[in-house]
Chains A and B, each alone.
Chain A
């Protein structure tokens, strides 16, 4: 039987180290938040620059947290739907809070202007919040209950999603 040489041992060590390094490099981003997770608290500057928006400000309400961008096609479809949903439920019980991830804030401002949405939009050009929430696609929305727990994650937006959203919001709003 041949005795393994030290060089052979070094080669094995080298290949193990390379495999380990590759695993580390390929490690994905932080896991996406799931239903049942507590929504992380945050504060971000409003898109119009007027104030700082935080999730804590809407404590006690059902919150629909929507990540959007001006370059995202389905986001454009979702804006009027979200505005309609906002108007359908009492303001003291339901709140839509949007987070814009455009790097160029001015583009986002121009984009949202014609939609005349009545809900606040925060700006996060550095993309810190989508990283924290681990959003899988654009847009992604989180329906958060009165206790700050995520009750529904809605990746993407297609026509016909409004009905399901409405029913989920209603059940949370009506729940005591």
Chain B
């Protein structure tokens, strides 16, 4: 574990040194798009604030926008297949639906 950390640190240090001296210019050119993506990506864990829900609060944005339809479909499924659908919890498996 410690050795792995050491390799990681050594790799980063070598990369930083190489890039600062210009020795790794080719490498830098190759990885620069990737670095750009990393540095320009919004890494902040933005949470939606209560007043920002807006369209997220609409019913069609819910994971299950129509619970009644889901329940009906699930009922049809387990009645026809004698098995619970993927979204259901595991049951006794008696087949007596």
Contacts and interface: CB of A to CB of B under 8 A. Distances in A.
Interface of A: 5, 7-8, 10-11, 14, 25-26, 29, 67, 69, 71-72, 101-104, 127, 130-131, 135-138, 140
15 contacts: A5-B6, A8-B9, A10-B13, A14-B9, A14-B12, A25-B45, A26-B45, A69-B51, A69-B54, A71-B55, A72-B57, A104-B54, A127-B49, A127-B52, A137-B50
Nearest to B46: A25
Contacts of B8: 11
Q: How large is the interface on B (under 10, 10 to 19, 20 to 34, 35 or more residues)?
A: 20 to 34
| Interface of A (DSSP majority class) | loop
The list of the 8 closest CB pairs from A to B, nearest first, reads: A130-B51, A71-B57, A11-B9, A101-B51, A10-B9, A11-B5, A138-B50, A7-B9
B10 interface: yes
A52 to B, nearest CB: 21
A103 to B, nearest CB: 5
Nearest to A28: B47
Nearest to B8: A11
A5 B8 CA distance: 14
Nearest to A104: B54
Contacts of B10: 7
| Interface of B (DSSP majority class) | helix
B43 A25 contact: yes
B65 to A, nearest CB: 15
Nearest to A13: B9
B60 to A, nearest CB: 12
Given A25-B43, A25-B44, A8 B6 contact: yes
Contacts of A137: 50
Interface in B6-37: 6, 8-10, 12-13
Contacts of B2: 8
A101 B55 CA distance: 12
Contacts of A127: 49, 51-52
A104 B57 CA distance: 14
